[in-house]
Structure 1
Amino acid sequence: MLLLSTMAAGAARSVSVRLNAVAALSSSTSSGGRSRKGQRRGDAKPQAPPPPLPRHGEAPSKKKPSARPAVGKENRAVEEARVPPRLEGEARKGVQQQNKAKRVVRWKCASGCGACCKLDKGPDFPTPKEVFADHPDDLQLYKSMIGADGWCINYDKSTRTCNIYQERPMFCRVEPKVFDEFFGVPRSRFDREACSACVDNIKMVYGDDSAELSNFKRVIREESNKVEASKNQDKLLDT
């Protein structure tokens, strides 16, 4: 019984050795091709074959293998489109400068509007008490000018003009000094803030798609273009 067990163990060991040898042979064959003739098991693996010699009349290739991994078409397109950070920053700065140059705005009153003469402006606007917090006398005058319909009592609706335009109060004048004193708006932002205030008033009185709003935007655009043209002319004269 012991003999049979030993023989069985020896046979199993022999089979295991043969299987290991076959596995090693398969691994060697799959990784490096067939073993060279005369090469013994356990010897070092054969070196990779040298590159083929150039054909007759063909110059030897000097191209070195690239160390970078292969890039797919999509990744290659992304790499080619990628802009260096420095150049990207310069390009963005140039676009910002162009946009800034295009945003020259100059305020101008559009005749036939009168939206600012609607003194009772509703909850979406600051109350007279908030606007005239530091000017109590102006607050009383402002309140006295509000008619029953919310419009200024000095506003002529038939002609859309002011009956006291030359003598109108200071707070009715759209000027840098007024915006600075009543709203804290500096001179550098006057034109932009004045245009924004007019747009808000026109939308409140006449609506977002009104002819009055389109007319105001046209007037501002034309006035701004005149200022821009004048600046460009001055630059040409300076050069």
Structure 2
Amino acid sequence: MMLLRAARAATIAAGARRKPGLLPVAVAGLSSSSGAPSGGRRRKGQRRGEAKPQHQPLPAQSEVPGTKKANTRPAKDRKARPVEEAQRPPGQEIEFELVKLQPEKPKRVVKWRCATGCGACCKLDKGPEFPTPDEVFSDYPDQLQLYKSMIGPDGWCNNYDKTNRTCNIYEDRPFFCRVEPKVFDEYFGVPRSKFDREACSACVDNIKMVYGQDSAELGNFKRVIKEESKKHEESMNQVQLLDT
């Protein structure tokens, strides 16, 4: 009888105009205040007037639809796995190991040497592609004056023998005519560790400017540099073997 009255009250309340939020509270009150079941067939073993056993909430590790079942084995039975490995995308670890195992390519040894029969550096009037004498000798006015005095009408050095492609004052040539680490450091700011590469690059630029990029002079210079570099590398390897 109490249940019937409660059901009628709920029906009347559903049809009446109420403020928002009151109806859910009333229904909740009915379901929670009454200890009797809401109706229907009794479950097996249930006594008359006894409320249905309410389902208890599952533990935190309860299975959620669409997800994998949680691992319930003891921690000691499970194999330990680093966090980084678990979070790494599939295949990334293999790719990383392959890159790591690749040996580093050794840097090619470059050793400069003057190629006889060239003389491209004796073309003192270099053209607009190169720094001007005023820029190179801005802090050395006496060297600037000497450099300009050596330039002939055709742009070549007055001391250069075009027939033999040799220098007539080679032993007494000025300081700036010497391809040495000290000269490159003082005039161009090139450290000793980069002298050979910078000297080779400067010679290549001069040869291309004077004779062309497909000239025999350029091919000869590259051959000389290759031989000198290989010779220097072999001597360094012998020194390392002696040290060990």
TM-score w.r.t. structure 2 length? 0.61
How many residues in Structure 1 have an aligned counterpart in Structure 2?
155
- For 1:84 and 1:221, the matched residues in 2 are separated by 36
Q: CA deviation at 1:234?
A: 1.5
Q: CA deviation at 1:82?
A: 8.3
User: Which residue matches 1:134?
Assistant: 139
2:181 paired with 1:170? no
- 1:98-177 to 2 correspondences below 5 Å: 98=106, 100=107, 103-177=108-182
Question: Which aligned segments of 4 or more residues in structure 1 are displaced greater than 2 angstroms?
Answer: 79-84
Q: CA deviation at 1:86?
A: 4.1
Match of 1:84 among 65, 90, 95: 95
**Structure 2: runs of 5 or more not aligned:** 1-89
- 1:202-217 to 2 correspondences below 5 Å: 202-217=207-222
Tell me which amino acid in the other structure corresponds to 1:202. Answer: I
Q: Relative to structure 1, is the Cα distance of residues 112 and 81 closer, same or farther in structure 2, using a 3 angstrom cutoff? A: farther
Q: Which has the higher contact order (CA 8 A, sep 6+)?
A: 1
Tell me which amino acid in the other structure corresponds to 1:111. Answer: T
Tell me which amino acid in the other structure corresponds to 1:196. Answer: S
**Structure 1: runs of 5 or more not aligned:** 1-78
User: Which residue matches 1:180?
Assistant: 185
- For 1:139 and 1:82, the matched residues in 2 are separated by 61
Higher radius of gyration, 1 or 2: 2
- 1:202-236 Cα shifts (integer Å, max 9, x gaps): 00000001000000001110010011111111122
| Structure that is richer in helix per residue | 1
User: Which residue matches 1:48?
Assistant: none
Q: CA deviation at 1:84?
A: 2.8
Q: CA deviation at 1:238?
A: 2.2
Q: CA deviation at 1:83?
A: 4.0
Q: CA deviation at 1:81?
A: 11
